[in-house]
Structure 1
Amino acid sequence: MLRQFSVIVTVAIFWQLASFSTLAETKDPQQADKFPPSPLEITTPDPLLPSLRGKRPLTLPERLKLEAALDELNQQAAATLQAGDKVTAFEIWNRELRLRRYLGVVAEVQALSRVGDIAWRQSDRQEVQYINQRLQAIEKQAQRKNKNAQSSVDLELLQALGDAYQKLRSPKPAIAIYNQVLAVMRQQQNAVGEVDTLKTIGELHLSWFDYPPAATIYEELLKSATAQDELTYLQKLAYIYQQTKQPEKSIDVLSKLKTIYAQQNNLTRLPSLQLEIGANYETLARENPILLQAAFRNYQEAYTTAWQLQQYTRAAEAIQKLIPLYRSQGQINEALQAGKILVETESLAANFYGMMQAYDQIGQLYLVQKEYSQAIAAFQRGLELAKQLKHQEAYFTQQIEKVPQVKF
Structure 2
Amino acid sequence: MYKRLSAFIITSILLNTSLTLAATPKDPNQADKFPPSPLEITTPDPLVRADANKQPLTLSEQLALKAALDNLNQQAAATLQAGDKVTAWEIWNRELRLRRYLGTLAEVQALSRVGEIAWNQNDRQEIEYITQRLRAIQKQELSPKKTAQKPVDFPVLQALGEAYQNVRSLPDALTIYHQILAIVRQQNDVAAEVATLTTIGELHLGWFDYPQAAATYQELLSLATARGDVASELTYTQQLAYIYQQDKQIQQAIDKLNQLVEIYTSQSNLTQVPQLKLAIASNYESLAQENPNLLQEAFNNYQQAYTMAWEAQQFVTAGEALQKLISLYRSQGQIDAALQTSQILVETQAKASNYYGLMQAYDQIGQIYLAQKNYPQAVSAFQRGLQLAQQLKHEEAYFTQQIQKASGQ
TM range (shorter): 0.7 to 0.9
Say if 2:254 is the partner of 1:276: no
Greater shift after overlay, 63-72 or 346-355? 346-355
Greater shift after overlay, 236-245 or 20-29? 20-29
Q: By how many angstroms is 1:337 displaced?
A: 1.9
Deviation sequence 1:266-291 (CA, Å, 0-9, x none): 33322211110111222233344343
Give the SS at the match of 1:205.
helix
Say if 2:221 is the partner of 1:244: no
Could you tell me which amino acid in structure 1 is paired with residue 117 of structure 2?
I
Greater shift after overlay, 228-237 or 114-123? 114-123
Identity %: 63
Structure 2 unaligned spans of 5+: 26-33
Q: How does 1:77-92 map to 2 (within 5 A)?
A: 77-92=76-91
Aligned position for 1:396: 399
Deviation sequence 1:240-296 (CA, Å, 0-9, x none): 111122222112111221222233343332221111011122223334434333222
Could you tell me which amino acid in structure 2 is paired with residue 214 of structure 1?
A
Kept in 2, the 8 Å contact 1:73–1:93? The answer is yes
Q: How does 1:86-165 map to 2 (within 5 A)?
A: 86-143=85-142, 145-147=143-145, 150-151=148-149, 152-165=151-164
Greater shift after overlay, 316-325 or 150-159? 150-159
Deviation sequence 1:20-42 (CA, Å, 0-9, x none): 23555669631546996432222
Aligned position for 1:363: 366
Say if 2:197 is the partner of 1:198: yes
**In 1, distance between residues paired with 2:319 and 2:86?**
56
Deviation sequence 1:170-208 (CA, Å, 0-9, x none): 212211221222222233333322222111111000001
Q: What is the TM-score when the length of structure 1 is the normalising length? A: 0.87
Kept in 2, the 8 Å contact 1:26–1:32? The answer is no
Say if 2:283 is the partner of 1:292: no
The two structures, once aligned, show a CA RMSD in angstroms of 2.8
Q: What is the TM-score when the length of structure 2 is the normalising length? A: 0.86
| Alpha-carbon spacing, 1:87–1:307, altered in 2? closer, same or farther (3 Å) | farther
Kept in 1, the 8 Å contact 2:204–2:210? The answer is yes
Say if 2:23 is the partner of 1:20: no
Q: How does 1:370-389 map to 2 (within 5 A)?
A: 370-389=373-392
Aligned position for 1:3: none
**In 2, distance between residues paired with 1:60 and 1:164?**
26
Say if 2:28 is the partner of 1:30: no
Q: By how many angstroms is 1:147 displaced?
A: 4.8
**In 1, distance between residues paired with 2:65 and 2:387?**
78
**In 2, distance between residues paired with 1:193 and 1:275?**
37
Greater shift after overlay, 241-250 or 20-29? 20-29
Q: How does 1:312-331 map to 2 (within 5 A)?
A: 312-331=315-334
Kept in 1, the 8 Å contact 2:379–2:407? The answer is no
Could you tell me which amino acid in structure 2 is paired with residue 373 of structure 1?
P
Q: By how many angstroms is 1:318 displaced?
A: 0.8
Give the SS at the match of 1:50.
coil
**In 1, distance between residues paired with 2:390 and 2:45?**
77
Could you tell me which amino acid in structure 1 is paired with residue 267 of structure 2?
Q
Greater shift after overlay, 232-241 or 319-328? 319-328
- Counterpart of 1:344 (choices 347, 370, 379) is 347
Deviation sequence 1:335-379 (CA, Å, 0-9, x none): 112212222323343433322221121112213333221012112
**In 2, distance between residues paired with 1:395 and 1:117?**
54
Kept in 1, the 8 Å contact 2:3–2:168? The answer is no
Give the SS at the match of 1:403.
helix
| Alpha-carbon spacing, 1:24–1:307, altered in 2? closer, same or farther (3 Å) | same
Kept in 2, the 8 Å contact 1:313–1:349? The answer is yes
Give the SS at the match of 2:46.
coil
Aligned position for 1:5: none
| Alpha-carbon spacing, 1:330–1:115, altered in 2? closer, same or farther (3 Å) | same
Q: By how many angstroms is 1:236 displaced?
A: 0.9
Give the SS at the match of 2:160.
helix
